[in-house]
Amino acid sequence: MSIFDETLTMNNGVKIPKMALGVWEIPDAQTPEAVEAAIDMGYRHIDTAQAYGNERGVGEGVKKSGIPRDEIFINSKVAAELKNYKDAKASIDETLNKMGLDYLDMMIIHNPQPWNEVNQSNDRHFEGNLEAWRAMEDAVKEGKLRTIGVSSFEKEDLDNIIKNSSTKPAVNQILVHIGETPMDLINYSQENDIVVEAFSPIAHGAALNNPDINKMAEKYGVSVPQLCIRYDWQLNCVVLPKSANPTHMKSNAEIDFEISDEDMDKLKKFTPVDYGQAGVFPVFGGKM
C-alpha cells in the first residue's frame, strides 16, 4: 500500500489520510503549482488556514489537479481571533468562496487563544471557543464541512468542548517533532479517540541543523526530514510536512523504514531544538 493510501479513522467515521502537505508560508500565487505537484505525485490531504492567505491558491491547485474532489481531503482553520458565533460562521462561508468549493473535509479552530495572547495570557476563551465550535457544528449540519476539530488545545481546552457540546473534536493538531514530544497530550487525545495531527514535523526546518537528529538519520541511512516524518508517523499521528519544492515533497513521502522501539524512546527524550528566527512565532514559544 502506498504511503498516500494510509488513513486513520476519526471518531465520526470519516477517514483522514496520514500524510498531508502543509502550505504555511507558501505565497498564494505559488500555491496552485505546489498543490498540483503534490497531488500529482500522490498526496491526498492538504492543510491550509484562513491565516495563511493561500486558501484561494489551494482551491485552484485542487481544481487544476484533475483528481476528483472527493478523493482529496482538504482542511482549513478558523482564525484564532474569531471567538464568537457570527464571525466564525461567516468566515467558513468566506473560506468556501475563496476556495471555490462546496464543502471542506475539515475545519479546525486554529488556536484556543488569539495569537496576541498566546504565551502571555491565562484566558483560555472557553466561551468563545464554544461559540466558534457551535458555528462549525452548524456548518456540518448545512453540509459545508464534513468534520470539525481543534489545534493546540490543551487538556482543559479539550475538556471544555467535550463536556459542553454534543460533538467531540475529531482531531487535535499540535506541535510534535523530535525535541518536542508532548506525550501526555498525545496520549490524552488518542485515549479520547481524537486523532493527533503533528504540525511542524521538521521543527519548521530547524531539525535540519540539529547535530543529534542528523546522527540518528545517518544511522538509518535516511534524510533528516524522512527521520522526522517517520517519527511522527510511528506516534500514530497524521503528519503535515510543508514543502514548496516537489523534490522535497517526493522524498518526504519515502518513509518506508522502521525506527526501532529503543530509538523511538531515545528520540522522545531529545532536548528542544533551536528554532532560530522562527522562535518569534507564538507556536514556537514566542510572543506577538
Ligand X SMILES: NC(=O)c1ccc[n+]([C@@H]2O[C@H](COP(=O)([O-])OP(=O)(O)OC[C@H]3O[C@@H](n4cnc5c(N)ncnc54)[C@H](OP(=O)(O)O)[C@@H]3O)[C@@H](O)[C@H]2O)c1
Provide the minimum distance between the beta carbon of 229 and ligand X in the complex, in angstroms, as a whole number. 9
Show the cell assigned to 95.
473560506
Show the cell assigned to 1.
500500500
Show the cell assigned to 160.
471544555
3 near ligand X, rule: CB under 6 A: no
Looking only at residues 30 through 49 of this chain, which bind ligand X when binding is defined by CB under 6 A? 47
What is the DSSP track for 134-162? HHHHHHHHTTSEEEEEEES--HHHHHHHH
- What distance in Å separates the CA atoms of residue 231 and residue 216, rounded to the nearest whole number? 11
- Point out the residues that are catalytic: 52
Provide the minimum distance between the beta carbon of 163 and ligand X in the complex, in angstroms, as a whole number. 23
How far lies 81's CA from each of 78, 87, 181, 236, in Å? 8, 10, 26, 30
Q: Which residue's CB comes closest to ligand X? A: 22
Residue number, 86 or 287, with CB nearest to ligand X: 287
Looking only at residues 108 through 167 of this chain, which bind ligand X when binding is defined by CB under 6 A? 110-111, 151-152
Interface with ligand X (CB under 6 A), residue from 98, 125, 204, 230: 204
Interface with ligand X (CB under 6 A), residue from 101, 203, 237, 253: 203
> What b-and-e string marks burial along 182-214, b requiring 16 or more CB atoms within 10 Å of the CB?
eeebbebbeeeebbbbbbbbbbbbbbbebeebe
Provide the minimum distance between the beta carbon of 60 and ligand X in the complex, in angstroms, as a whole number. 17
Provide the minimum distance between the beta carbon of 250 and ligand X in the complex, in angstroms, as a whole number. 9
Looking only at residues 10 through 29 of this chain, which bind ligand X when binding is defined by CB under 6 A? 22-24
Q: Find all residues with CB under 8 Å of 90, minimum gap 6, and list them.
A: none
Letters for 225-254 (x = contact with ligand X by CB under 6 A, - = none) are x--------------xxxxxx--x--xx--
- Where does this chain bind ligand X (CB under 6 A)? 22-24, 47, 110-111, 151-152, 173, 199-205, 208, 223, 225, 240-245, 248, 251-252, 283
